Amino acid sequence: MEIAGRIAVVTGGASGIGRSICLALADADAAGVVVADIDAAGAGKVAAQIEAAGHRALAVPADMSSEAEVQALVARTEDALGPVDLFFSNAGIIVAGGVEVADEAWSRIWAINVHSHVYAARALLPGMLDRGQGYLVITASAAGLLTQLGSAPYAVTKHAAVALAEWLSITYGERGVSVSVLCPQAVTSNLADTSRRELGQDALPADVGATGGSAQAAVDGVLEPDQVAAVVLEAVRGEQFLILPHPDVATYERRRADDRERWLRGMRRLQARLGGST
């Protein structure tokens, strides 16, 4: 899909990957960029930056774990700018721990990392199918293809996000709706701060910094959000389903599929080497 002239919505758009995607869309001459985030002030700053550069933008405060707010986001976009062509479902959080993580935290991460994508699809699909075109980009993680050492909730919800994206692509791909899933490893962002805001200061160990993830995710390097955004827009132009800013993830996924037992043994060794466990 060509980006120029399109109406795009980006959730989690106030910072990190979402912010960089918003700015990149504007630079690519999108007709309008909607910056959606639970951080209303942050969304407003990004929209103002886009407008200062001579592009059209709209900031919309929205909690993507609420279906009513997702529906309102789409409706407000359509009222102000027109039908949504591109929707980047990018909100996400992480919490440390395994099966012992409290039910409240499991519910919150499930709502943001999975149900937000379901709500976006519910809100968008009727219009996109009627028009015979549309694009949904779901931000998952390399953890959704592999795993996340030290965080069962993150691994589980990101696997679910990948599965949903695959199902949507299979079900609607021949009806004009394109779907991509973004699966980066470590990226400099405010994931840790966002997660602590949503789940409390104990959501992550105190030494977890800007990437929000474990040392596992940083093995192949930490990318800047602008680097990820450039990869994402190029993939959208080519309507590529699986977006891997860290190309090595494709090799890891093949190894996992080819010999699951060997891969599990390797991950156990990696966990022991990194000193990570739940």
pLDDT at position 209, please?
Answer: 43
| Mean pLDDT, residues 41-63 taken together | 98
Q: How far apart are CA 78 and CA 215, in angstroms?
A: 42
Rounded CA-CA distance 166/58 in Å is 30
Rama region for 218: left / alpha / beta (φ>0; ψ in -120 to 50; rest): alpha
**pLDDT above 90: residue 198:** no
CA dihedral 234, 136, 109, 187 (to 10 degrees): 10
Average of per-residue pLDDT across 145-160: 96
Every domain of the chain and the residues it spans: 7-251
| pTM for this entry | 0.91
- Residue with tokens 């980009």, as numbered in its chain: 137
Can you say how many angstroms the Cα of residue 70 is from the centroid of all Cα atoms in its chain? 15
pLDDT of 213 higher than 60: no
Question: Quick check: 146 and 252 in contact, CB under 8 A?
Answer: yes
Residue 221: predicted pLDDT: 87
Instruction: Please spell the DSSP secondary structure of 117-146, one letter per residue.
Output: HHHHHHHHHHHHHHHT-EEEEEE--GGGTS
d(CA 205, CA 246): 25
pLDDT tens-digit readout, 12-31: 999 999 999 999 999 999 99
Active site residue 252: no
Q: Please state, as a whole number, how many other Cβ atoms lie within 10 Å of the Cβ of residue 251.
A: 9
According to the model, what pLDDT value does residue 191 have? 72
Q: Which tens digits make up the pLDDT trace of 90-130?
A: 999 999 999 999 999 999 999 999 999 999 999 999 999 99
Q: How confident is the model at residue 151 (pLDDT cuts 50, 70, 90)?
A: very high
177-182, strands of its sheet edge to edge: 57-61, 32-37, 7-11, 86-89, 134-139, 177-182, 242-243
Identified catalytic residue from 119, 154, 172, 252: 154
Q: Are 114 and 140 in contact (CB under 8 A)?
A: no
Task: Look up tokens 């991950």; give the residue.
Answer: 267
Class level of CATH domain 7-251? alpha beta
